Structure 1
Amino acid sequence: MRKIKQFSRSGRPFGLFLSAFGMFIVSTDSLFTRVAEIDGWTIAFFVGVFSVPSMSIIVWKTLGKKVVSEINNYRWPLFISAALAAVGTTAFIQAVTRTAVANVVTIVAGAPIFAGLIAKFAIGENTSGRIWKAISGTFFGILIIVSGSLATGGLDGDLMALLAILVFSTNLVIWRHFKEMSRTLVVLIAPIFIMLFTFIPAQFDALDKRALLCTLGMGLFVGPIARLCMVSATRHASAAEVSMFTPVETIFASLWVWLWFDEVPEVTTFIGGFLVLASVFYGIRSNK
């Protein structure tokens, strides 16, 4: 019998697998947020609350007494990365509560282009002419999506989605640059920042049983698993390569809300989304 080749837990293929799996898991965030039927600030706050216990256990198991030394070694990049992750998560949840999910996840699909652009100027990763063309296509695609929201409402949600993807792309570059920085600590500190950012606007009395179950699922399982996959993927692949799997979220998140809520995207979302995805895949081919 032929010996089955063991799947390697290192190298570029493993990094791409982690990225794809993380994006598939996080695609359920949009559905949970919609099902909760409460405001985004409150959802984000309780997602932060429920993320801390599970991540604290993971950090203790993986780092133990090395936690203090790890914080001292990577103090500024660690806290900046965690703060950016908190802003990104909060902005994403706000976006889903303010505009069509398809709009949000289609804008998010532009991550590879933004990550490549930021990596070019921040850490000197090469950006080809093909990538610059893809950046232009992505930009115009997002403009088309936003133009649809000007007529139908939801512009603030589109802008929140744009903020989310900008900070996410920036974080990919930080994680790529500081490869040895503890990923579990980033994922633990991020929800603490989320709670700090959302404590004042959160409406605690709005949390009913449905919202409790949704935020519990997002905080205990979806968020930590997805974030650990994404931050770990950058140890094995470039920022642009890791982010190229954001279309996985675009496809599945749109599918979940279509099946659950029968939410059909606007025509401008289809047109702009096609341009964004086509530009992303065009740009990705330059990395092969």
Structure 2
Amino acid sequence: MQDQLPAAAEHRKGLLITAFGGMMLTIDIPLLRLSQSDAWSALAVRSTLTFIAALIAWSVIRFVFKRQMPLIPGKAGLLVVSLYSLASITFLMAVFNTTTANLVFILAFNPMFSALLAWWLVGEKPKPQTFVAMLVMLFGVLLIVSDGIKAGNLTGDLFALVSSLILATAITFSRKARTDMGFAPLFGALVPAIVGLTMVGGVSGLAVAEPAWLVLNGLIVIPISFWCLATGPRYISGPEVAMFYLLETILAPIWVWMIFAEAPTLIGLIGGAIIITALVGHSLWRLLSHRRTVRTLAPRHPV
């Protein structure tokens, strides 16, 4: 009984943290487009600012709140940092080399990759309900992109596929390590920053028409969202964390429609509703399942 109560509370905490991070991440692509920059410039600026934000946050936690927190938590942390670094590069390349529809469709394989990797590496066999939820969400994504998938660029599609696999691997190893990986993707931004600056030939080669949007993205949106999503695996399973990344699939096209007047089709709206329903339904099922377990194990007073 005493073990089940903390488990349920930890799971709820993980769901809330991860959901908030997923919501924040939904405005990433619109902010990148608003910056009117090229791929390498966006990678360099966004990654540099994210790394600076991570250093500031880590310094405050360590020196102001006196909490000991390693920059990289051991070998597992180094591996996760490396994976997030690669994922940042491949994601930015996908953003600028394929359509948004193709990108979010391919990224929707993240939960499937995470479920399979968690089963293989962590021994967490997914519940049948998790597989059902993933299949429903993939069906919703297929509806969203069914009209425009042929317009995508093959190179960008491959970048998106690799990004999805790398991200799922990072989530799985974070789950396996069972340690605080909140800063892993943030410090992992250093490598993409160096790569981006190298590709544009240094600071003088940066081409960003509207830098304020990249500043907002790099200093606030990405640090908060990535910290939440990287912290989630401490409390919930990898496939569950991966499913919250799909919020970007639903909401990013809506933000693009509001900002750039690119109206989604009726099929796209239906697909988004299907994905939201599956995601919310699965999360509610997990919460209710924990509560039922707690009630079953609770000691009963004698009549």
Could you state the TM-score of these two structures normalised by the residue count of structure 1? 0.79
For 1:200, what is the secondary structure of its paired residue? helix
Q: Distance in 2 between matches of 1:161 and 1:179?
A: 27
Q: Which residue of 2 aligns with 1:58?
A: 57
Distance 2:74 2:195 in 1: 20
SS in 2 for 1:11: helix
Aligned to 1:104: 103
The corresponding residue for 2:262 is: 263
Q: Tell whether the 8 Å contact from 2:83 to 2:170 is kept in structure 1 after alignment.
A: yes
SS in 1 for 2:120: helix
Q: Does 1:70 find its partner at 2:70?
A: yes
Q: Aligned partner of 1:81: which letter?
A: V
Letter of the aligned partner of 1:201 in structure 2? M
**1:120 aligned to 2:119?**
yes
| Equivalent position SS for 2:96 | helix
The change in CA–CA distance for 1:11 and 1:132 in structure 2 (over 3 A counts) is closer
Structure 1 gaps, min length 5: 1-9
For the pair 1:15 / 2:10, whether they are aligned, the reply is no
Identity level (%):
25
Q: Name the structure 1 match of 2:158.
A: 159
Matched AA of 1:228: W
Structure 2 spans left out of the alignment, 5+ residues: 1-8, 290-303
Whether contact under 8 Å (1:19, 1:242) holds in the other structure is yes
Alignment correspondent of 2:301: none
Change (3 A) 1:159 1:274: farther
Work out the CA distance in 2 between the residues paired with 1:141 and 1:202: 38
Separation of aligned partners in 2, 1:93 and 1:286:
34
TM-score by length of 2: 0.75
1:146 shift after superposition: 8.4
Instruction: Indicate how the Cα distance of structure 1 residues 26 and 229 shifts in structure 2: closer, same or farther if over 3 A, else same.
Output: same
Contact 2:42 2:208 survives alignment (8 Å): no
- Relative distance call for 1:278 and 1:109 in structure 2 (3 A) is farther
- How far the C-alpha of 1:271 sits from its partner, in A, is 9.3
Structure 1 counterpart of 2:29, one-letter code: S
| Deviation (angstroms), 1:261 | 1.7
RMSD between aligned residues? 3.5
> Which amino acid counterpart does residue 109 of structure 1 have in structure 2?
A
Task: Give the CA deviation at 1:129.
Answer: 5.0
2:207 aligns to what? 207
Distance in 1 separating the partners of 2:128 and 2:19: 26
Match of 1:220 in 2: 219
User: d(CA) in 1 for partners of 2:41 and 2:79?
Assistant: 23
> After the TM superposition, which of the residue ranges 101-110 and 52-61 deviates more from structure 2?
101-110
Contact 2:101–2:149 (Cα < 8 Å) also in 1:
no
Task: Determine the C-alpha separation between the residues in 1 that align with 2:40 and 2:89.
Answer: 7
Report the residue type matching 2:103 in the other structure: V
State the alpha-carbon separation in 1 of the partners of residues 250 and 256 from structure 2.
11
The alpha-carbon deviation at position 209 of structure 1 amounts to 4.5
Q: Distance in 1 between matches of 2:159 and 2:268?
A: 16
Which stretch has the larger CA shift, 46-55 or 87-96? 87-96
Which structure has the greater CA radius of gyration? 2
1:17-96 matched pairs, under 5 angstroms:
17-64=16-63, 70=70, 74-96=73-95
> 1:145 and 1:200, CA in 2 relative to 1: closer, same or farther beyond 3 A?
farther
Range with bigger deviation, 255-264 or 14-23: 255-264
Determine if contact 2:83/2:166 at 8 Å carries over to the other structure: yes
Contact 1:149 1:155 in 2 (8 A): no
Whether the aligned pair in 2 keeps the contact of 1:148 and 1:269 (CA below 8 Å) is no
The CA distance in 1 between the partners of 2:272 and 2:158, in whole Å, is: 15
Distance 1:21 1:278, change over 3 A: closer
Distance 2:274 2:116 in 1: 18
Is the CA contact (8 Å cut-off) linking 2:105 and 2:145 kept in structure 1?
no
- In structure 1, distance between residues paired with 2:123 and 2:226: 25
Is the 1:41–1:90 Cα contact (8 Å) retained in structure 2?
no
Residue 190 of structure 2, aligned match among 192, 198, 205: 192
State whether residues 85 and 171 of structure 1, in contact with CA within 8 Å, keep that contact through their aligned partners in structure 2. yes
Q: Deviations over 1:103-134 (max 9, x none)?
A: 32233233222211110001110134565566
Which residue in 2 is equivalent to 1:249? Answer: 248
Distance change in 2, residues 1:229/1:71 (3 Å): closer
Q: Which range is displaced more, 87-96 or 276-285?
A: 276-285
TM-superposed deviation, 1:278: 8.3
Secondary structure of 2:213's match? helix
Counterpart Cα distance in 1 of 2:259 and 2:113: 31
